[in-house]
């Protein structure tokens, strides 16, 4: 059957089983929009800014595990998408982004709305394509989806010149399977290395499991949990790994790193075996690298060979899919003598208990002013840990990570690697589009929410019942915290008080949402309850203690056990 480029686009999406895409139209991509108008199977969500489209697709991908799909026009449409792509790239989120491009004959001529999209996005995508011939289009789309979701997942961009959309070629329907000889990710780990890893586990006395986003991405939470329980070893998650191990398990130490718990950071520092699973030793986790886990032998399981021994020297690297490798390890551990002669970690747990008794997440209670931490604790209590929690970037993000216990994967959405303010609102839209029956809470700051606030329009248009909690400290809080601690309290350009923010209740009204306000601690619970019970979109503002800090804190460049505690 002969089809034109725009028709091939729609056909391929159908092949790939795509049901939802996020986008924004424009001249270069109009032919595709015309086909979308006719395609019954496809739901297009019109955002208000292309950055929002990519974050929404990202949120969709994080909760479903499927590829998020984005459609933007050429030039400004594509450049607006860049922050979203970079965010997804850092957090390894599978996305396919289609961008329109000026007609082939105009490329390179500074045509209207032309940008070198492939050049601009080269370093913030896993791979990208410029379609040169309509005959290549279907193959490229199939490859893009395959590349996005396999190996270490990531965003892939396809730039399509306008004339390709009207040219015709023979189209053959196929399932999405492709073979790219130069791209063959390693799935199974090296058996010898796995054996050696199990041996190390058997002789360790102070092991710690340190797990990251890779566990979530490869759906390996059950395997991780099983391994931890068989070993009886303590587990700590990175920011991206939260939910990969149940937070209410007694083996859980909380998050590690810059704002990790005292017990997690101390345990890693004292450990003699660190089992790193789908985590990449980010500088926010390691602190001063030379003093990171100085006594430990390190096992590192990761699908991406470039992550291994990049920041920290590893004793046993195992390249492969985390789920595969962990199930192999569990199998071996079960077969081995491990079960009978279980290593005795009593002394180790004794040490850990003394660190736990420090209660590093305690915060000052006050009956006049709302402590932001208590809002999140209460939210956890009222939702029984069942909500999907999305955040922006800043103090509220860290408090959400510290105080909302995640028992399951894919229910915690945050921009970890890039730290993108403005991620939260559009990502929460993507999440609720994917999971309309779940409760989706966005926890944001007064600064972050204003960075993509136009997406309230999207929420309104599609009646997306997200619950937005704004922890309003009238500051760019996290930056203010650094200014307080490291810049002599000189709050340069971080004060958002005095008419610097909109009236959030009125704003809610303007977008057809319900606006709520809590100013005193005794209002936290009623406002949260009302937020949950009110149908439709709710914006609940909590005026919080202005100068509350996130503790514990490892100052940048310090060792992990050099924490500032409250």
Partner 1 sequence: MRHVLSVLVNNEPGVLTRVSGLFSARGFNIESLSVAPVGDGSSSRITMVSHGDSQITEQITKQLNKLIPVIRVVDLTDGPHVERELMLIKVSAEREMRAEIMRIADIFRSRVVDATQVSFIIEVTGGSDKLDACLAMLSPLGVVEMVRTGKVAMSRGEKKT
Q: Select the binding partner of residue 395 from partner 1, ligand TPP, none (C-beta < 5 to 8 A, by kind).
A: ligand TPP
CB of residue 544 to ligand TPP, shortest distance in Å: 9
Closer by beta carbon to ligand TPP, 85 or else 559: 85
Cα-flanking dihedrals φ and ψ of residue 170, to 5°? -70, 130
d(CA 459, CA 58): 16
- Please answer whether residues 426 and 455 qualify as being in contact, where contact means their C-beta atoms are separated by less than 8 angstroms: yes
Q: Select the binding partner of residue 549 from partner 1, ligand TPP, none (C-beta < 5 to 8 A, by kind).
A: none
d(CA 133, CA 365): 65
448 binds ligand TPP (CB under 6 A): yes
Tell me which stretch binds ligand TPP (CB under 6 A): 35-43, 68-76, 133-141, 389-397. Answer: 389-397
Reading phi first (left if > 0) and then psi (alpha if -120 to 50, else beta), residue 479 is in alpha
Tell me which stretch binds ligand TPP (CB under 6 A): 257-265, 334-342, 415-423, 524-532. Answer: 415-423
- Please answer whether residues 142 and 176 qualify as being in contact, where contact means their C-beta atoms are separated by less than 8 angstroms: yes
- Is residue 252 annotated as part of the catalytic site, yes or no? no
d(CA 53, CA 249): 36
Q: How far apart are the first and last CA of the chain?
A: 69
Instruction: Give the tokens for residue 480.
Output: 């203010």
CB of residue 413 to ligand TPP, shortest distance in Å: 16
Closer by beta carbon to ligand TPP, 59 or else 320: 59
Per CB under 6 A, which of residues 458..477 are in contact with ligand TPP? 471, 473, 475-477
Which residues pair with residue 564 across a beta bridge? Answer: 553
Of residues 356, 396, 410, 411, which one binds ligand TPP by CB under 6 A? 396
CB of residue 536 to partner 1, shortest distance in Å: 44
- Is residue 50 annotated as part of the catalytic site, yes or no? yes
- Residue tagged active-site, from 9, 16, 35, 162: 162
CB of residue 417 to partner 1, shortest distance in Å: 16
552: preceding bond cis by omega (within 30 degrees): yes
Q: Select the binding partner of residue 215 from ligand TPP, partner 1, none (C-beta < 5 to 8 A, by kind).
A: none
- Listing DSSP states for 458-492 in one string gives HHHHTT---EEEEEE-SB-HHHHHHHHHHSTT--T
- Tell me the HSE value of 27 on the side-chain side, using a 13 A CA sphere: 10
Q: Select the binding partner of residue 534 from ligand TPP, partner 1, none (C-beta < 5 to 8 A, by kind).
A: none
- Please answer whether residues 513 and 460 qualify as being in contact, where contact means their C-beta atoms are separated by less than 8 angstroms: yes
Q: Select the binding partner of residue 107 from partner 1, ligand TPP, none (C-beta < 5 to 8 A, by kind).
A: none
Of residues 16, 78, 86, 393, which one binds ligand TPP by CB under 6 A? 393
416 binds ligand TPP (CB under 6 A): no
- Residue tagged active-site, from 9, 16, 35, 50: 50
d(CA 377, CA 361): 11
Q: Select the binding partner of residue 477 from partner 1, ligand TPP, none (C-beta < 5 to 8 A, by kind).
A: ligand TPP
392 binds ligand TPP (CB under 6 A): yes
Q: Select the binding partner of residue 122 from ligand TPP, partner 1, none (C-beta < 5 to 8 A, by kind).
A: partner 1
- Please answer whether residues 242 and 406 qualify as being in contact, where contact means their C-beta atoms are separated by less than 8 angstroms: yes
- Is residue 162 annotated as part of the catalytic site, yes or no? yes
- Is residue 113 annotated as part of the catalytic site, yes or no? yes
Closer by beta carbon to partner 1, 82 or else 413: 82
478 binds ligand TPP (CB under 6 A): yes
- Listing DSSP states for 208-264 in one string gives EEEE-HHHHHTT-HHHHHHHHHHHT--EEE-TTTTTSS-TTSTTEEEE-STT--HHH
Per CB under 6 A, which of residues 281..340 are in contact with ligand TPP? none
Rule CB under 8 A: which residues touch partner 1? 118-119, 122-123, 126-127, 130, 132, 147, 180-183, 304-306, 309-310
H helix or E strand, kind and range, residue 327: helix 322-335
Residue closest to 374 by CA, chosen among 471, 234, 474, 268: 471
Q: Which residues are catalytic?
A: 50, 112-113, 162, 478
Instruction: Kindly list the residues in this chain that would bind ligand TPP in the complex (CB under 6 A).
Output: 392-396, 419-422, 445-448, 471, 473, 475-479
């Amino acid at each position: 059957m002969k089809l034109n480029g725009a028709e091939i686009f729609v056909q391929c999406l159908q092949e790939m089983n795509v049901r939802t895409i996020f986008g924004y139209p424009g001249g270069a991509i109009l032919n595709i929009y015309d086909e979308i108008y006719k395609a019954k199977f496809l739901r297009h969500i019109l955002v208000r800014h292309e950055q929002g489209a990519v974050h929404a697709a990202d949120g969709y991908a994080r909760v479903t595990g499927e590829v998020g799909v984005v459609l933007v026009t050429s030039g400004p449409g594509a450049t607006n998408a860049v922050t979203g792509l970079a965010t997804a790239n850092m957090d390894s989120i599978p996305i396919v982004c289609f961008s329109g491009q000026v007609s082939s004959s105009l490329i390179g001529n500074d045509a209207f709305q032309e940008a070198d999209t492939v050049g601009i996005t080269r370093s913030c995508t896993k791979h990208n394509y410029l379609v040169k011939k309509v005959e290549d289009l279907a193959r490229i789309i199939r490859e893009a989806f395959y590349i996005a979701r396999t190996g270490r997942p990531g965003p892939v961009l396809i730039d399509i010149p306008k004339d390709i959309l009207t040219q015709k070629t023979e189209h053959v329907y196929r399932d999405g399977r492709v073979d790219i000889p130069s791209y063959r990710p390693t799935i199974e780990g090296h058996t010898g290395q796995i054996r050696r890893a199990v041996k190390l586990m058997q002789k360790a006395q102070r092991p710690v499991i340190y797990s990251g986003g890779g566990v979530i991405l490869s759906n390996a939470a059950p395997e991780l949990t099983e391994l931890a329980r068989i070993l009886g070893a303590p587990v700590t998650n990175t920011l991206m790994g939260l939910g990969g191990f149940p937070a209410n398990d007694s083996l859980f130490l909380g998050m590690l790193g810059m704002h990790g718990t005292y017990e997690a950071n101390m345990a890693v520092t004292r450990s003699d075996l660190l089992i790193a699973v789908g985590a990449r030793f980010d500088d926010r986790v390691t602190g001063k690298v030379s003093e990171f886990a100085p006594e430990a032998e390190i096992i590192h399981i990761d699908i991406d060979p470039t992550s291994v021994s990049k920041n920290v020297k590893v004793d046993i690297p195992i390249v492969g899919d985390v789920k595969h490798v962990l199930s192999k390890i569990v199998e071996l551990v079960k077969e081995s003598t491990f079960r009978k002669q279980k290593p005795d970690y009593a002394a180790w747990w004794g040490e850990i208990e003394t660190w736990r008794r420090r209660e590093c997440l305690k915060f000052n209670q006050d009956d006049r002013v709302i402590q932001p931490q208590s809002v999140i604790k209460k939210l956890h209590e009222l939702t029984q840990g069942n909500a999907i929690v999305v955040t922006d970037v800043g103090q509220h993000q860290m408090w959400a990570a510290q105080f909302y216990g995640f028992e399951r994967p894919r229910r915690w959405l945050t921009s970890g690697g890039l730290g993108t303010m403005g991620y939260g609102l559009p990502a929460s839209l993507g999440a609720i589009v994917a999971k309309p029956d779940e409760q989706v809470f966005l926890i944001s700051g007064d600064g972050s929410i204003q960075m993509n606030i136009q997406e309230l329009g999207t929420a309104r248009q599609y009646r997306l019942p997200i619950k937005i909690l704004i922890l309003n400290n009238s500051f760019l809080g996290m930056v203010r915290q650094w200014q307080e601690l490291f810049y002599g309290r000189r709050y340069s350009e971080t004060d958002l008080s005095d008419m610097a923010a909109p009236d959030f209740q009125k704003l809610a009204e303007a977008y057809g949402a319900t606006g709520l306000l809590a100013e005193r601690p005794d209002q936290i619970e009623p406002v949260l309850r009302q937020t949950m019970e009110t149908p439709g979109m709710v914006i609940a503002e909590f005026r919080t203690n202005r100068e509350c800090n996130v503790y514990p804190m490892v100052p940048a460049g310090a060792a992990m056990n050099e924490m500032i505690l409250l």
